[in-house]
Structure formats: structure tokens, C-alpha cells
A and B are shown apart, each in its own frame.
Chain A
């Protein structure tokens, strides 16, 4: 069975609640069958609205959403066959875990025998085998979350939507649930659309991530690409840590450019700058800049250490470099070297390839 590349398709979708402001602007998004796509973005960026439109609780103001090539804007939510995991789990408090899971099967008029089989299977999938007769109120947050996931999957939907499902859990539980959801996805191959504002969650779980800001998808790509090769300064800023320099392009030639800063000049990789004189923001990941580099690097600067913070596995160092006093370095704990002491001047080097000249902030 070949997988459809546009199993879920947003086609030029606009959404406005009040007729004045567009919450979602001209959204085009294709999601492959069996893919785990995360919509990531700050609150108010339109990601949840997109999810609600896909689930059928909101209608697009303009444009169309396709599910397996069928337009679904006029199909009510209960006929879409899309499973959904809600932020606060939305388990039915007056039903037992079993009844909660049986609910979607009962409304589909399955036989009692099939229902029991399916519910058992779904519960063991989330390792809650013995909990069928508990009420949701008797479960911990993590267990409720698993029930919610099982309930969204028990009727074999084509697509499962998850709206910040781990938001209410504590950090450790959140991490273990991330892996659990990821494994469930891998084992049953359902298409998952996941909404979160937690980039760590998005990077851990997803095949692809759509970064939302201001009602638009800023970048849609795999987690590694998103991190290594952000296409604009919002994505660079939003995903991971980032050192930025604002400047102006002074020279541009085959794959590199020179950016003139207030103090000094750096060689960078022109991503979204085309011509001399353009304003730009240069973005460098903290781990791409090295202290006292052994290899030859095309950017070499001196910086003054302003702050050293011990983090266990690594040390964060804040430098004043080229007039930017917020320049962060991550130094692995194993590095034998180095006179990292407050006030010291050290040599910093990075490759021009890793200094991405993006749109100005």
C-alpha cells in the first residue's frame, strides 16, 4: 500500500473569528499518511485553530481541508472519523475507563464482544490492563492521559489529533509519555497531528514539524533540519538556543557573504539575503562556536567571559563578543582545557556555513 503524500491537505485555508483579524493566513499544508506532524508555535499563533478546523469544531473562513482527497469542511465532526486527545483529557467523568473506551465503539453499533476485545487491546497498548473498572477520577494525571490516548485510538481512526496532551503533566512524566506516544505511533502507523508549544516535545516525537507564527507556517521540515537549518530568524529563535547579530550585508559571493556589524564584521552563509546593503540577522547555534579552535575556521573573534554557569553535563558561558553581551557558548564538561574564568578573554571561532544570515528581526 503506497502512502499518500497528501493524506491530510490544508488548501489555502484562512480563518477569522471576528472578521477583522486573520488567525490563520493562507495555510497550505500536506500531511503524509502515517506521519507524525507537530504544529509548534507560541500561543496565539493559530496552531490550535488549525487543529480545531481539522477536527470539525471550527469552519475555515476560506479554503478547504481535504482528508484522503475528500473535502471535509461540510462534514460534521462526528462523521469525520478523526480521533482527538484533548488538553485536559476530556474523559467522561461519569463513566468507567471501560465505558469511556467503549463509547466510540458503541455509537458505531459494534457487538459487545468486539467492543470488549478492542477495549482490552487498547488498554494493554497503553499498559493500563487492570484499570478498566476504575473511574477517571481515581486515576493519576498520567494514567488519565493514557486513557485519553487509548480512547482516541480505539476506533481505528485514520487521523489522531492531539491538542497539547501533555501540558498538565510534570516534567518526568511528560518525557516518558512522549516516548510512549511515539512508540504507539510507530507500532500502529496512524497519522498523528500534534499541537504543542513545547519545542523539546516536538523535536522528540515528530517526523516533521510545522512551526507556526502569526497565523502562518514559518517552516515545515524534519526536526534536525529545523534545528540545523532554520529558514528565518523566527524559527532560529524559537527552536533551540541561538546567538544573533544584527547587521548589513556588505559583500556577497558564491555561498558566503560578509555582514558588517556595529563593531566588526563576520562571514556568514546567505540564506535569505540576496544583495548587498540588505539588513540581516545572523544566527549561530551556541554549540557551533568553539573556544580556541584547533582547525582553521573562517570566523575568529575574541570575546570576554561575563558569566559562567555550571549545568552538570555542560557549562554555559556568556560572552561579550562583537558588541553582543548575550553571546552564549555551551562547553562540554569533558573538555579538559580551558581557562574559562570570569573576565578572561578567549578566542572564539566558527565556520561561515554555520552562521546563517536570515531576515532581519
Chain B
């Protein structure tokens, strides 16, 4: 029939392929419309904030915008000796506008980050520049303060020329790029972030381990008990889930503080002396205990859902074939639960690594994590770009863990239920 074109036609004479496409098109549009709200929601609430965070973390336009003429004049300066007169003039003109607009303070703070002692020099210049006469600004500025004769300060200004910077990321791992543009570590007494990163990973690791050790038997019990009891137990596991995080953390504070119930109990049993009550609060112990309890359901549920699918006859088969219960468990049962272990550990680890409220409340000084540092910069120092940089580093770390996990175990092995 359709030998001319070699195409198969429908009874109406339209090529089949086209007809199929049209028929499918409607369905595709329908499907797209159905997921559109979620897609939009995800883009607005997830992709855009992350993108904004990223641009904020590398954004360095503030100084660039405040000193447009200076940077233009500096383009030809090689930075080896003091800049020529044009640079001084441009800087004077830029700075004059800033002082007039009362925004000079920002520049002072920013440049002080770059070079200590810049603030006072700039403040002095702000006072003196009103009396400047036209021409020979180099001389006039250098007269205001002797530091203006130091080429280091001009280099510091030049370093802020690009509108993008990765210095916040360097700061996140206790490094900075020095006057020569080399990346070096900050002095030893100021290295706080690296300790926090290590502590965060350490706490997340141990919380995951404790959760695993506790959740495995519970999940096994849940999967093997008769329905009547397993439902009750399941409610016990989920009950904390339905309680506010804050309430749970607060109740741990009541339990664990030095005059708290746990310590009272220890004293009562004679385990510790009354005047020697151990501190279980406001340190790592408190963080471990509270976070393990709060994250436990995230380990139990994936494990349970995997164990539920393992036929009890497999263990029986193992035993009937001559394996002791322990061997049968480790050779037969345990390998089959690995997908659940993987899912549970990944879930708990990722949640733990970004945990905020609990360590903030019960962590004290030695139990706070990187997320608390991020919050500190968000709320107290208002260095949002640094907070963004650290947030992104955390996100990258989580993605890296996910990637490693995928390489080692395979994400398709994960079973969440």
C-alpha cells in the first residue's frame, strides 16, 4: 500500500510515527503539567537558594564597586613599587564619594580584612581629605599617614580588584592567600575550622556507628516478631519521630545535666560520688547521646524494610546445612541486610553531618559542629558569604560521600523501603 514512501500509514493515511507522536504528545504534556508544581517548587526552594548561596560565597564585588576609578587606574600598575599619581588621584576621588555617602565604613572593614591596620589609616584619611588641595594627591595622601608610603597597603587594595574570590573557601579550611598571592595556612592559634570539620565528621561517624549498633537488633526484632507485638514496638520506635526535636533535645538536657536524673541515679547506686558527678552535658558526650537517640529511627526504618523481605527459611536453610547460628547469621542473614545498612548509614551520616539544633543546645564548646559555626556567621558576624562558602563545602562533602558510597557499594543497592 505505502510502498512509495516505505512508511506505514494509519487507516487515515497519516504516517504511523507522526500519529504516535501526536497521541503521545498529549500524555507527555499532561504528565509534565502534573509534575509542574513540584518541579517549580523544587526550582524555587532548592535550586535557586543553592545558586544564590554559591554566587554569594564567591561574590567580591563590594570593594570593586566602591573603588571603580582606583581599579581602572591600577590596571597598568605592576605592584612592585608605589603606584603613580593617577592611582592616588583616583583613590582620593573614589574615597571622597564614599565618605560623602557615609559608606566609607564598609570599605574600611573590608580592607582591614585584607591588611591589618588599614582601618585606622583610612579613618584618618577620611578626616584629613576635606582639606586636600587640588593636584599632587600622592604627596598629600602620603603625608596623612606614613603607611601610605608602604606598598603593601596598595597591594592589599589591588588584591580586591577581581569581583570573584575563593578566599572564603580558603578561610573555611584555615588557609588564606598572603600578600604574595601564595596560599598558606593561618597561624596555628587561629586554626578553628579544621578542628570543627574533623569533629563534625567524627561525631557523624560515631553517631552512625552507635545508631547502627542499636538499630540492628531492634529492626531484627521488629521484622521477626508477630504482628501484634511488632506494631507496638514500631510505635515505640516512631514515637520520638512525632515529638518535636526541640522537646526531645530539651528532655535530654534535663536527663543528662549534672543535677539531672541520670547523674542522680549514678549517685544513688553509688557508681559516682556526689561531689564528683560526671559532665554529660555541654560536651561531646551530650551530643553523641542526644543525636543517636534522635537519628535512631532513620536507621531502624530502612533496616526493618530490608529485613522484612528476608525469608526466615534462609536462616533455617543455613542451619540445616550445618552452619552454627552465628555462621548462618554472618554468612546468610547479614549480607542480605547490607542494602538496608547502606541506606540507613548514609541517611544517618548525612543528617548528622549537617546537624544543628542538638549540638547547639547540648554540645557546649567541645560539642559544636560546623553547622553551628555556619549559623554563628549567619547570625552574629553577618559574614554571609563565608557562611555560604562553608555551607557549600558541607554540601560538596555530602555529595562526595554519596559518590564514594556509590563507587563502593552502589546506590542501586540502597533500599529505603
Do A and B truly interact?
yes
> Which A residues contact B (CB, under 8 angstroms)?
55-57, 76-84, 86-88, 90-94, 103-104, 107-108, 151-152, 155, 161
Chain A residues within 8 Å of B325, by CB: 76, 78
Cross-chain contact of A92 among B319, B322, B327, B332 (Cβ < 8 A): B332
Q: Complex Cα distance A107/B327, Å? A: 8
CB-CB nearest in chain A for B327: A107
Distance (whole angstroms) from the CB of A164 to the closest CB of chain B: 12
Please tell me if the beta carbons of B313 and A78 are within 8 angstroms of each other in the complex: no
Q: Does B33 contact A (CB under 8 A)?
A: no
Please tell me if the beta carbons of A151 and B321 are within 8 angstroms of each other in the complex: yes
Chain A residues within 8 Å of B322, by CB: 78-79, 81, 104, 107-108, 155
Interface residues in B285-337 (C-beta closer than 8 Å to A): 311, 313-314, 316-325, 327-328, 331-332, 335-336
Q: In the A-B complex, list the 5 residue pairs whose CB atoms are closest, starting with the nearest.
A: A104-B321, A90-B317, A84-B320, A90-B313, A77-B319
Whether A86 contacts B316 in the complex (CB less than 8 A), given A108-B322, A155-B321, comes out as: yes
Q: Complex Cα distance A56/B320, Å? A: 8
Could you jot down 7 A-B contacts, CB within 8 Å?
Answer: A78-B324, A86-B316, A92-B317, A103-B321, A104-B322, A107-B323, A151-B321
Q: Complex Cα distance A55/B320, Å? A: 7
Q: Complex Cα distance A79/B322, Å? A: 6
Interface residues in B314-364 (C-beta closer than 8 Å to A): 314, 316-325, 327-328, 331-332, 335-336
CB-CB nearest in chain A for B333: A92
Distance (whole angstroms) from the CB of B6 to the closest CB of chain A: 40
Chain B residues within 8 Å of A107, by CB: 321-324, 327
Please tell me if the beta carbons of B321 and A57 are within 8 angstroms of each other in the complex: no
Please tell me if the beta carbons of B314 and A82 are within 8 angstroms of each other in the complex: no
Chain A residues within 8 Å of B324, by CB: 78, 107
Whether A94 contacts B319 in the complex (CB less than 8 A), given A78-B325, A87-B313, A88-B313, comes out as: no
Please tell me if the beta carbons of A86 and B317 are within 8 angstroms of each other in the complex: yes
Count contacts between A and B, CB distance < 8 Å.
67
Interface centre among A82, A90, A161 (most CB of B within 10 A): A90
CB-CB nearest in chain A for B323: A107
Please tell me if the beta carbons of B335 and A84 are within 8 angstroms of each other in the complex: no
Q: Complex Cα distance A234/B301, Å? A: 49
Q: How many residues of B contact A (CB 8 A)?
A: 19
Chain B residues within 8 Å of A87, by CB: 313
Please tell me if the beta carbons of A86 and B328 are within 8 angstroms of each other in the complex: no
Chain B residues within 8 Å of A88, by CB: 311, 313
Chain B residues within 8 Å of A108, by CB: 322
Please tell me if the beta carbons of B316 and A90 are within 8 angstroms of each other in the complex: yes
Chain B residues within 8 Å of A92, by CB: 314, 317-318, 332
CB-CB nearest in chain B for A78: B319
CB-CB nearest in chain A for B338: A94
Distance (whole angstroms) from the CB of A95 to the closest CB of chain B: 8
Chain A residues within 8 Å of B320, by CB: 55-56, 77-78, 80, 82-84, 152, 161
Q: Complex Cα distance A82/B311, Å? A: 20
Chain B residues within 8 Å of A94, by CB: 335-336
Interface of B, helix, strand, loop or mixed by DSSP: helix
Q: Complex Cα distance A78/B313, Å? A: 14
Distance (whole angstroms) from the CB of B321 to the closest CB of chain A: 4
Chain A residues within 8 Å of B319, by CB: 56-57, 76-78
Please tell me if the beta carbons of A90 and B311 are within 8 angstroms of each other in the complex: yes
Cross-chain contact of A103 among B313, B316, B318, B335 (Cβ < 8 A): B318
Chain B residues within 8 Å of A82, by CB: 320
Chain A residues within 8 Å of B311, by CB: 88, 90
CB-CB nearest in chain B for A79: B322
Please tell me if the beta carbons of B323 and A86 are within 8 angstroms of each other in the complex: no
Q: Complex Cα distance A318/B321, Å? A: 51
Q: Complex Cα distance A360/B357, Å? A: 77
CB-CB nearest in chain B for A77: B319
Please tell me if the beta carbons of A93 and B336 are within 8 angstroms of each other in the complex: yes
Distance (whole angstroms) from the CB of A158 to the closest CB of chain B: 13
Please tell me if the beta carbons of A86 and B313 are within 8 angstroms of each other in the complex: yes
Distance (whole angstroms) from the CB of A87 to the closest CB of chain B: 7
Cross-chain contact of B314 among A55, A77, A90 (Cβ < 8 A): A90
Chain B residues within 8 Å of A91, by CB: 317
Q: Complex Cα distance A155/B323, Å? A: 12
Cross-chain contact of A78 among B314, B328, B331, B332 (Cβ < 8 A): B328
Chain B residues within 8 Å of A56, by CB: 319-320
Chain A residues within 8 Å of B321, by CB: 78, 83-84, 103-104, 107, 151-152, 155
Chain A residues within 8 Å of B314, by CB: 90, 92
Chain B residues within 8 Å of A79, by CB: 322
Q: Complex Cα distance A88/B310, Å? A: 12
Q: Complex Cα distance A103/B335, Å? A: 14
Q: Complex Cα distance A94/B320, Å? A: 18
Chain B residues within 8 Å of A55, by CB: 316, 320
Distance (whole angstroms) from the CB of B16 to the closest CB of chain A: 37
Whether A57 contacts B316 in the complex (CB less than 8 A), given A90-B311, A107-B322, A151-B321, comes out as: yes
CB-CB nearest in chain A for B334: A94
CB-CB nearest in chain B for A86: B313
CB-CB nearest in chain A for B328: A78
CB-CB nearest in chain B for A104: B321
CB-CB nearest in chain B for A87: B313
Distance (whole angstroms) from the CB of B286 to the closest CB of chain A: 40
Chain B residues within 8 Å of A80, by CB: 320
CB-CB nearest in chain A for B316: A57
Interface residues in B17-60 (C-beta closer than 8 Å to A): none
CB-CB nearest in chain A for B320: A84
Q: Complex Cα distance A56/B325, Å? A: 13
Chain B residues within 8 Å of A76, by CB: 319, 325
Q: Complex Cα distance A81/B323, Å? A: 10
Distance (whole angstroms) from the CB of B318 to the closest CB of chain A: 7
Q: Complex Cα distance A81/B322, Å? A: 7
Q: Complex Cα distance A104/B320, Å? A: 9
Interface centre among A86, A87, A152 (most CB of B within 10 A): A86
Please tell me if the beta carbons of B336 and A103 are within 8 angstroms of each other in the complex: no
Chain A residues within 8 Å of B318, by CB: 92, 103
Q: Complex Cα distance A94/B323, Å? A: 17
Interface centre among B318, B321, B324, B332 (most CB of A within 10 A): B321
Q: Complex Cα distance A117/B325, Å? A: 27
Chain B residues within 8 Å of A103, by CB: 318, 321, 323, 331
Chain A residues within 8 Å of B313, by CB: 86-88, 90
Cross-chain contact of A77 among B316, B331, B335 (Cβ < 8 A): B316
Q: Complex Cα distance A92/B319, Å? A: 12
Distance (whole angstroms) from the CB of B415 to the closest CB of chain A: 13
Distance (whole angstroms) from the CB of A222 to the closest CB of chain B: 28
Q: Complex Cα distance A225/B405, Å? A: 64
Chain A residues within 8 Å of B317, by CB: 84, 86, 90-92
Interface centre among A77, A79, A91, A152 (most CB of B within 10 A): A77
